[in-house]
Amino acid sequence: MKKIKVLALVCLMFAGFGTIKSYAHCEIPCGIYDDAARVKMMYEHIQTIEKSMKMIVELSAAEKPDYNQLVRWVNNKEEHAKKLQEIATQYFMFQRVKLSDDPVMKAKNMKQLELLHKICVYAMKAKQSTNLEVIKNLNDTVHDFDHAYFSKDEHKH
């Protein structure tokens, strides 16, 4: 009986290690949204990805590369690109770009969805390389989304 309890406890412990944390905003909907803060976060993730890319290039070029630091910067780049994709999809696509039958709103939504898709694709490309052109594309696309999403009255950053 004691072996079964120990085995059950070990299984529960390992089950906890296999869980995936989600950092996305809720889908209740809770009604607590700060769209401008999310756009600002997108720019911050891009800056972090850029710094990571530069550090990867610098560390890789060293006579004796510090592989531990190199791996950490690669993981950092990957993590922030993923967070950028999560904001674009989980937050904006799934919760903030609303379905509408109004032709004007549909056109606005299509433009926003196109830009969000581009952000996700460029974030994917950032995971795949250290090409700083991707950073320019990300910054330009987030800028375009920022202006397509917020009306002139709402645009405060």
Alpha helices in the chain (DSSP H): 2-17, 35-61, 67-86, 103-128, 132-149
Map out the domains of the chain as residue ranges.
33-149
Instruction: Tell me the backbone φ, ψ of residue 75, rounded to 5 degrees.
Output: -65, -40
pTM summary value: 0.80
Length in residues, the chain: 157
Q: What is the pLDDT of residue 2?
A: 57
Take residue 21 and report the two structure tokens written for it.
């944390």
CA torsion sign for 33, 36, 42, 48 is negative
Distances (CA, A) of 66 to 55, 125, 128: 11, 24, 20
**CB contact set of 110 (below 8 Å; sequence gap of 6+):** none
Per residue in 69-83, pLDDT tens?
Answer: 999 999 999 999 999
Half-sphere exposure of 126 (CA within 13 A, CB side): 35
Query: Under 8 Å CB-to-CB from 123, ≥6 apart: which residues?
Result: 49, 81, 82, 84, 85, 88, 138
At residue 135 the predicted structure's pLDDT band, cuts being 50, 70 and 90, is very high
Q: What angle do CA 56, 119, 90 make, to 5 degrees?
A: 110
Residue 107 has pLDDT above 50, yes or no: yes
Question: What CATH number was assigned to the domain covering residues 33-149?
Answer: 1.20.120
Average pLDDT, the chain: 86
- At position 14, the amino acid (one-letter code) is F
